[in-house]
Amino acid sequence: MDKVCVTGIGIVSSLGIGYQEAIDGLSKKPSDPVQLEQGAWGYPVTRTDYKAYIPRAMVRKMDRISQMTTAAVRMAMDHAESVGRPFDQLDDVGLILDTGMGSASCVSAILEEALGSDPTISPLLFPNVVANAASGQACIALGLKGLSSTLGGAGSLMYAFDLLQTGRAERIIVGGSDELNPLYTRGYVKHNVIDRNIPIGEGAVALVLETERAAVDRGGAAIAYVDHISVATDPGFRTTGPRTFRGGGLHRTVSEALSAERASSITAVIGCANGSSLLDRRERSAVGIGLLNRAELVLPKKWTGEVFGSGSILGVAVASMRLLRSSVYEPAELEVAAASAAVASASLTHRAEPMEKLLINAYDATRGQAMTTVIHKP
């Protein structure tokens, strides 16, 4: 099977716009969340300068989640294109997107208009109501001609990994995007899908994945290699109530990953903990105290909040950024080991340095889906 590598990162989030800002954000203390609807807390994306990455003629036609998605994909392409042949000379680049809430904000706006005193629906809004609108808009705006798909939850990375490993594709951009929405925030809090004290996040993340052969042919450079991905759904998962986080799926994915990779080879864990005492406890149990005491621990959601469908891509993006710059802010309460020395951007040439392997956990609280990924530094 072909080896799969990450060659580009794009991100629009409260961490920053672009991977360089996100790396800088991870080196600082997490900011305080702001208050949202129904007493919930979160990390909204307040900046709009990411629109500079979208063709001007397309901006007005897109809703906000499509804009953030397109910008993140463009940034990931720019990052990958900084070394090697540009993607506009290729016709096989596809996009697979994860989302939890999809076009919820657009649907809410249309319902508000339709049910109001003047039921007139904007023709610019309507094309964005379908869940795959963001990926479609990004493909149109950026000229991507490969496969295009949108999945609910945390499946895009596994899907793309399988397509690339089995030779059915050579280059795929995987992404995740979600947008804060007052209606959904109220629903999450009312039905106990997420505790009101757990911050909620938004934004878009994208990764360029290529087979090693395709990256070499393009003249690209690998940031990380993807070694293993496991996906599972919690048995008996319920979308509401106090037992939303059961943890069985996470135990299974971590167990499968550690059976494929020696635990002693893992140098860092990128966790999915979001502040829920039950989920955090389940993750610690799944990973094991021995590994947690030995490996560096990074918890991205302390900076971004719970990001639902984009959590798996965010985790791998943070892990890849961790390989570009090793130092991250380490709150005392995490009790993690000191960060290792900064690592320069890696190339496809293997070096004699000790291999860094990172284990990344993701958990989609809206569907009970768990994912564990292992990547290593070239």
Rounded to an integer, what distance in angstroms lies between the CA atom of residue 94 and that of residue 57?
22
**Geometric angle at alpha carbon 63, from 60 and 64, rounded to 5°:** 110
Cα–Cα separations (whole angstroms), residue 64 to 35, 61, 247, 260, 263: 20, 10, 33, 40, 41
Where does a domain end: 196, 218, 240?
218
Cα–Cα separations (whole angstroms), residue 238 to 154, 186, 367: 17, 18, 8
Same domain, 27 and 125: yes
Same domain, 250 and 139: no
Say what the pLDDT of residue 332 is: 36
Same domain, 206 and 310: no
Same domain, 269 and 201: no
Same domain, 200 and 315: no
Same domain, 127 and 193: yes
Q: pLDDT per residue over 147-161, tens digit each?
A: 999 988 778 999 999
Same domain, 273 and 185: no
Q: What are phi and psi for residue 361, nearest 5 degrees? A: -105, 145
Same domain, 195 and 239: no
What's the chain's average pLDDT? 84
Say what the pLDDT of residue 236 is: 65
| SS3 category, 104 | helix
Q: pLDDT per residue over 11-57, tens digit each?
A: 999 999 999 999 999 999 999 999 987 778 899 999 999 999 999 99
Q: Which domain holds residue 256?
A: 227-376
For residue 344, the domain's CATH number is 3.40.47.10
pLDDT at 341 > cutoff 70:
no
Specify the number of domains making up the chain: 2
Same domain, 207 and 243: no
Where does a domain end: 201, 218, 235?
218
Q: pLDDT per residue over 251-279, tens digit each?
A: 999 999 998 877 788 999 999 998 887 78
**Residues whose CB falls within 8 Å of the CB of residue 166, separated by 6 or more in sequence, listed in order:** 1
Q: pLDDT per residue over 175-230, tens digit each?
A: 999 998 887 788 777 777 677 778 999 999 999 999 999 999 999 999 999 999 99
Same domain, 53 and 100: yes
Where does a domain end: 218, 244, 266?
218
| SS3 category, 371 | strand
Same domain, 130 and 275: no
**Residues whose CB falls within 8 Å of the CB of residue 113, separated by 6 or more in sequence, listed in order:** 119, 120, 121, 122, 125
Same domain, 179 and 238: no
